[in-house]
Amino acid sequence: MITTIKGTTSAGVQTAISEIRHNLGAGSGMVFTLLVVADAADVDEVRDACLEAGREHPSRIIIATDGSSRSDRMDAEIQIGQDVPGEVITLKFHGEVAQHKASALLPLLLPDSPVIAWWPGAGPAHPSTDDIGVLASRRITDAMGSEDPVAALVERACCLAPGDTDLTWTRLTPWRALLASALDRPRGTVLSGSVHADAHNAPGLLLAAWLRSRLGVDVTFDANAGPGISQVTLTTDEGEVRVTRTDGKMATFSAPDSPTLAVALRRREVPALITEELRVLESDHVFTATMAELASDDSLTQFTSGS
Amino acid sequence: MTDSVTNPLRDATDRRLPRVPGPCALVMFGVTGDLAQKKLLPAIYDLANRGLLPPGFALVGYGRRDWDTEQFTDYVSESVKAHARTPFRAEVFRQLAEGLRFVSGAFDSAEGFEALRSTLTEVDAAQGTEGNHVFYLSIPPAGFDQVIEQLRRHSLVDKTSTRPWSRVVIEKPFGHDLASARELEQRVSSVFNSNDVFRIDHYLGKETVQNLLALRFANQLFESIWNRNYVSHVQITMAEDIGIGGRAGYYDGIGAARDVIQNHLLQLLALVAMEEPTSFEAGNLRAEKEKLLAAARAPRSLKSHTARGQYTAGWAGGERVKGYLQEDGIPHDSQTETYAAFRVDIDNRRWAGVPFYLRAAKRMPRRVTEVALMMQPAPHLPFHLNDTEQLGANALVLRIQPDEGVALRFGAKVPATPMEIRDVTMDFNYGTSFAESSPEAYERLILDVMLGDPPLFPQHTEVELSWKILDPILDYWADKNTQPEGYAAGTWGPPSGKTMLERDGFVWRRP
């Protein structure tokens, strides 16, 4: 059921939700509140991602976006039931209200459960001090959503607060899983490594930083044509472990004393990323350590668009 | 195994990184069967799609069909497209397809097993599976002996070797009584190491077991009432709405007690009634379950506290259905029970005097598996008698399937009445608070076998203890040598099932 209310308040939205719930006779088993701050142009795409994530994590999802009207008001669209296990509320802020979004969001947070903020596009420079960011215990940004992903990621790495996370990191999980499982069996000591990716690929830089921080050896970043990350090599004293992916979908895996094998390694879409992100709400020490490693690397400026 | 090496890329706090098994080949017997087609093959694909299969993986089908690898690949692809949980992706299937092989042969064919052996040698090199093999026996119990004997004769398994390793997966029933279970165990353990034998109860997924453990041991609220001071009795039900369908050959002579009570319901009983394990490590968990099963016994009066029935023709859910004796392939004088119920007493401090009633049956009104802890009545009710007329016993119900969840039943005042108290239900559903598409039980099971994670698989001691509880009841029924009591299909079972509880002053709840 979709209900649209023009010019409303948080209390108005709350009343509408209760009415719909009552009519549906539906119980609520929602596990958290997800605040999404999106560009008006991206709202449909973002809502689709939220619906997919909401299927795994029934929650109250509030998408906040700027409206174009000049009058000062808030419009709400409430979607409950049908294909949504939780609630999806789209709030459009017009005029001056747009400067005070947090005041409208605060009353709508579910009691007693975690609050997560997500900026699918270019997020604030300091999410943890942002008006909406402070409402949340976990703040998800996406460096790839900004114009200069590498610069955005480096900036986040320099001011990372507990609870901050970035989808750049989430994009790496399949790569990290494959590399980690390659070292589950003894392969001798890793001597060095390299990551090949297109020049402005923030995930590639972060992957190199992760390998550096875990292995304590030199891991070079080599720019090529991509797409995305195209190759990772770990040189051990027994030979090379190598994962090569040239089409963004299918990779080959090779290691000493092992045939070359095919592995599906598709670049994942945002809905899959946000779903994974919502699954891990505890603090991620490995991410923190990796970002610290990234922040201490001064060679990165060559990969930002500004250089 | 992963734990013997320190992997610099792993970190205990890195919860995103899944454990991916090491290289291995999965050999599947009974690959053309219903279970393989609908559950096992799709589960393997789903694992690949979630990035949980190692790059070095092969799936070798063994069966009588005269297939080549290409035909087998088409078969797997069809089964995956029709039944997988996750979307079909060409590149994932391509990864899987590279390791697919089919070996044509019967269970007693020496050439077949020789061919299997050379195929395994071939994939060990070409797919890098390094000699690690899982043998999945998705076949009727009659075939177990043959296959295990062939594996031994053709030296496909080296029991002493842990690297490379060989593991075997067998499905219930694990024997048909204590003696046969012991025999089976002996045969299996002559070929496989006992740590390498995985007994699968596909009704009881790992998720369910873990949910149960979390509910019991992560909360203060429930554990304090989890004993004879508060619980009056416990009802464990597994009702199926279907008949025996095409499984006549398997079901007849087995019956409800052997089919599901021995393994599934007694495992549920053990998990619900056991003490807190020191940790959830395999050995500790098993120790508690074994202790509980050792303390559990059949009722003293088998006549008063057991019941068996057989469904007769009738209307079930708006459909006309056959009686058990009219089903295809069932002898007209079969004494096999399709309804089995009995009381189990647990002789320990926590549960002495609290009867556990178990029932399993086919052609019930609906499909449901649940454990209901029925609470004692409040010691004193400071209300008028009529106020609480509608108030039943409080109950905590653990629903296993469908819609896994927990329901709490308690009394509440009906609004706008002077003081009228009625039962209400507070219902929690895993499905609405968590993942809608949680991993299929089989994905977890197959993954655990490949990882070599045994915690939740029962070992033979548990199997034997379960038979010790069941054997006296089965013997009693066999000695009676009479037809089980009839019950109309689509009803909640025969009268003796009801009187069995009435004797103790209870009634079955309607699940």
pLDDT 10s digits, A152-173: 999 999 889 999 999 999 999 9
CA distance A256 to A239: 6
Q: What DSSP line would sit under A123-139, residue for residue?
A: --SSGGGSTTGGG-SEE
pLDDT tens-digit series, residues B437-458: 556 778 888 998 999 877 567 8
B172 is in an annotated binding site: yes
Q: B431: distance to nearest CA of chain A, Å?
A: 9
- The average confidence (pLDDT) of chain A is 88
Q: pLDDT tier at A32 (50, 70, 90 boundaries)?
A: confident
Q: B22: distance to nearest CA of chain A, Å?
A: 7
**C-alpha neighbours within 13 Å on the C-beta side of residue A95:** 8
Q: How many CB pairs under 8 A join A and B?
A: 117
The shortest CB-CB distance from B8 to any of A31, A57, A183 is to A183
With an 8 Å Cβ cutoff, are B91 and A183 in contact?
no
With an 8 Å Cβ cutoff, are A58 and B49 in contact?
no
Task: Please list the helix, strand and coil fractions of chain B in percent, rounded to the nearest 5, in that order.
Answer: 40, 20, 40
The shortest CB-CB distance from A85 to any of B18, B22, B432 is to B432
B362 is in an annotated binding site: yes
Q: Is the pTM of this model over 0.80?
A: yes
Q: B401: distance to nearest CA of chain A, Å?
A: 18
CB B442 within 8 A of CB B448: no
CB-CB neighbors (< 8 A) of A216 in chain B: 8
Domains of chain B with CATH codes: 24-171 (3.40.50.720), 206-502 (3.30.360.10)
CA distance A221 to A293: 14
With an 8 Å Cβ cutoff, are A284 and B49 in contact?
no
B480 is in an annotated binding site: no
DSSP type of residue B172: S
Considering only CA atoms, which of B347, B356, B350 is closest in space to residue B374? B356
E-assigned strand segments in B158-248 = 166-171, 197-200, 231-239
Q: A250: distance to nearest CA of chain B, Å?
A: 6
Residue scoring higher pLDDT (B112 or A9): B112
Which residues in chain B show pLDDT less than 50? 1-4, 435-436
Amino acid at A183: L
Best residue in B5, B86, B433, B450 to probe A by mutation, most A CBs within 10 Å?
Answer: B433
The shortest CB-CB distance from B126 to any of A178, A214, A259 is to A259
**Residues β-bridged to residue B26:** B59, B134
pLDDT on residue A168 = 95
The shortest CB-CB distance from A180 to any of B9, B22, B94 is to B9
pLDDT on residue B436 = 45
pLDDT on residue A24 = 65
The ipTM (two decimal places) reads 0.77
pLDDT on residue B497 = 95
The shortest CB-CB distance from A264 to any of B22, B23, B92 is to B92
Weakest-pLDDT range from A148-152, A187-191, A280-284, B81-85: A280-284
pLDDT on residue B307 = 96
With an 8 Å Cβ cutoff, are B22 and A57 in contact?
no
H/E run at residue A254:
strand A250-255
Best residue in A168, A170, A173, A181 to probe B by mutation, most B CBs within 10 Å?
Answer: A181
Strand B197-200 and strand B166-171: the pairing is parallel
Asked if residue A262 has pLDDT above 50, the reply is yes
CB A163 within 8 A of CB A157: no
pLDDT tens-digit series, residues A226-246: 788 999 999 999 999 999 998
CB-CB neighbors (< 8 A) of B2 in chain A: 184
Structure tokens at A72: 């000062």
With an 8 Å Cβ cutoff, are A214 and B9 in contact?
yes
Catalytic status, residue B332: no
pLDDT on residue B398 = 93
With an 8 Å Cβ cutoff, are A250 and B95 in contact?
yes
Q: Is B372 helix (H, G, I), strand (E, B) or coil?
A: strand
Q: pLDDT tier at A274 (50, 70, 90 boundaries)?
A: very high
φ, ψ for residue B465 (rounded to 5)? Answer: -60, -40
Of B133, B233, B264, B305, the catalytic one is: B264
Give exposure, A158-171, as e/b (b: 16+ Cβ within 10 Å): eebeebbbbbbbbb
CA distance A181 to A257: 16
With an 8 Å Cβ cutoff, are B55 and A253 in contact?
yes
